[in-house]
Structure 1
Amino acid sequence: MEYEFVHDAITGAAKAKFSYGHEAIGPWLEVEIGDNTQKMTDMLTAIANIDSGKKNEIMITGREYSVTFSHDDVIVQNNSSINGEAQDMPAELAEDFDDYEQSCSSTCGIDDFRQLLLSWAKFTNSLQ
């Protein structure tokens, strides 16, 4: 998973850009976490609870995105994403549907996600 954090000079906002297959994580960071230290703490606590075995799975639903933590991975998914199947669509529409679904959901390892959160916190703190 490759990503880059940038500072929008016009709006002053922190932005996150992610590689193909992980696109949903960027807007999730921007919309759901931002520079909110309590939300960051909640995410890191969820990871600690998974790591310690207190929980097998934790789902945190935000305004636009949900995050599901498990021992193996973390899934970030847009709450409005379509959960249907593309099998009854014409081929060209099914391809577009697959691209849409790909950009609405991202999966990564829990250790990578922890490191990502810590990097994001460091970046947003440097802007204040």
Structure 2
Amino acid sequence: MEYEFRRNTLTGTVMASFSMDHEALGFWFVEELGESAEKYAEICQVVAKLQSNQLINWRLVGKALSIELDSEQARVFANELENGEEFELEYAMSLYDGESEAYCGLEDFQSVLENWHLFLTEKH
């Protein structure tokens, strides 16, 4: 999984670009986590509890995207996916959901989370 964090030099807006099939993670970091030190600290505590088996799983429902963590992986998904709607597609067609759902290992997620925090706290 490749990713890049950038800050718009004119507006100061942060952006996160993730490789194909992981785009939803980028949206989640920007739109749901943002620059909130409180959310960052909470999620770091949750990851530590999951890694030490003090917690089985955890979910944070956001405005547009939610995140689920367990001891092995992180899942970011659009809240719309939880409403159970099924789309009927023609034969040989598939729905690309890389922008609405993404998975990664918990250790990879932890690394991205730490890098996000470092990026936000850098002098710019």
Length-normalised TM-score, structure 2 = 0.89
Distance (Å, rounded) in 2 between the aligned partners of 1:123 and 1:58: 25
Call closer, same or farther: CA 1:78–1:9 in 2, change over 3 Å: same
Which runs of at least 4 in structure 1 moved beyond 6 Å after TM superposition? none
Please report how far the alpha carbon of residue 51 of structure 1 lies from its aligned counterpart in structure 2 after TM superposition.
Answer: 0.9
Q: Which runs of 5+ in 2 are unaligned?
A: none
Distance (Å, rounded) in 1 between the aligned partners of 2:11 and 2:2: 24
RMSD: 1.7
Length-normalised TM-score, structure 1 = 0.87
Task: Please name the residue that 1:36 is paired with.
Answer: 36
Task: Please name the residue that 2:121 is paired with.
Answer: 125
Task: Please name the residue that 2:102 is paired with.
Answer: 106
Task: Please name the residue that 1:16 is paired with.
Answer: 16
Distance (Å, rounded) in 1 between the aligned partners of 2:86 and 2:28: 24
Q: How many residues align?
A: 123
Q: Percent identity?
A: 26
Please report how far the alpha carbon of residue 127 of structure 1 lies from its aligned counterpart in structure 2 after TM superposition.
Answer: 4.8
Distance (Å, rounded) in 2 between the aligned partners of 1:48 and 1:14: 26
Q: Deviations over 1:72-114 (max 9, x none)?
A: 100011112364444x32237x42xx21x23200000000100
Q: Which runs of 5+ in 1 are unaligned?
A: none
Look up the SS of the partner of 1:53 in the other structure. Answer: coil
Distance (Å, rounded) in 2 between the aligned partners of 1:127 and 1:83: 44
Distance (Å, rounded) in 2 between the aligned partners of 1:12 and 1:83: 37
User: Which has more helix, going by share of residues?
Assistant: 1
